[in-house]
Chain A
Amino acid sequence: AQSVTQLGSHVSVSEGALVLLRCNYSSSVPPYLFWYVQYPNQGLQLLLKYTTGATLVKGINGFEAEFKKSETSFHLTKPSAHMSDAAEYFCAVSSPIKAAGNKLTFGGGTRVLVKP
């Protein structure tokens, strides 16, 4: 079974400061990894994903994440926070095994507050 842990349910950052959201996973096989963002009363939007290849992944809106297999982590960063980054962020995993289909297992989410 897969699981995802996001450290910190709430994070507060100042505008212009580094955003760091932590994600650790547990999986019997190297999973596919995703970060999604959710704005109030909206669905989820994909920020970035890791399947294979380069472990540093760049996504939309200036976000990037690094897959570290030895640490079973996939932390999300953005060098300079913008007010529009205030939202909830979800880390998710899926299995590369065919039988698992497209099932996503999500972490609990981290709500980001950006202070002016």
Chain B
Amino acid sequence: KAGVTQTPRYLIKTRGQQVTLSCSPISGHRSVSWYQQTPGQGLQFLFEYFSETQRNKGNFPGRFSGRQFSNSRSEMNVSTLELGDSALYLCASSFDRNTEAFFGQGTRLTVV
């Protein structure tokens, strides 16, 4: 069974640009969550999508958005990038509520 796939693995963007990250969950999983990992703030929850609906949202500005498609694949978008958005962005997929979360390898975003 294929694991959670995140693309791209590495990304360099310039301040003010926007970026889209992609996550393909494990086949059959309907829940996709996104996390931001930084040395200063640690692992922080961004949002969760379940069957194409945002089910939960963390405390991030509106520049951070996401969506989920009918095949459960998810994208997150960050607009007007700031230097502080440099981080490892992790995607996790779960079959259903309160079931084990499987993480992808992450996308490392560097904003210059």
Q: Name A residues whose Cβ lies closer than 8 Å to a Cβ of B.
A: 32, 36, 41-46, 49, 51, 90, 92, 94, 96, 98, 100-109
Contacts and interface: CB of A to CB of B under 8 A. Distances in A.
B97 A43 contact: no
- Report, nearest first, the 3 A-B pairs whose CB atoms are least far apart: A43-B103, A106-B43, A44-B103
Contacts, number: 66
A40 to B, nearest CB: 11
A42 B97 contact: no
A103 B48 contact: yes
B94 interface: yes
A46 B90 contact: no
B31 A104 contact: no
19 contacts: A32-B98, A42-B106, A43-B4, A45-B103, A46-B101, A96-B98, A101-B31, A101-B56, A102-B31, A102-B55, A102-B99, A103-B48, A103-B58, A104-B92, A105-B45, A106-B42, A106-B44, A109-B42, A109-B43
Contacts of B43: 90, 92, 104, 106, 109
Contacts of A103: 33, 45, 48, 56, 58
Given A44-B90, A90-B43, A106-B43, A101 B103 contact: no
The interface size bin for chain B is 20 to 34
Main secondary structure of the interface of B (DSSP, over half): strand
Nearest to A49: B100
Contacts of A36: 103
Contacts of A98: 97
B105 interface: yes
Given A43-B90, A43-B106, A109-B42, A100 B100 contact: no
A43 B104 CA distance: 5
Contacts of A94: 98
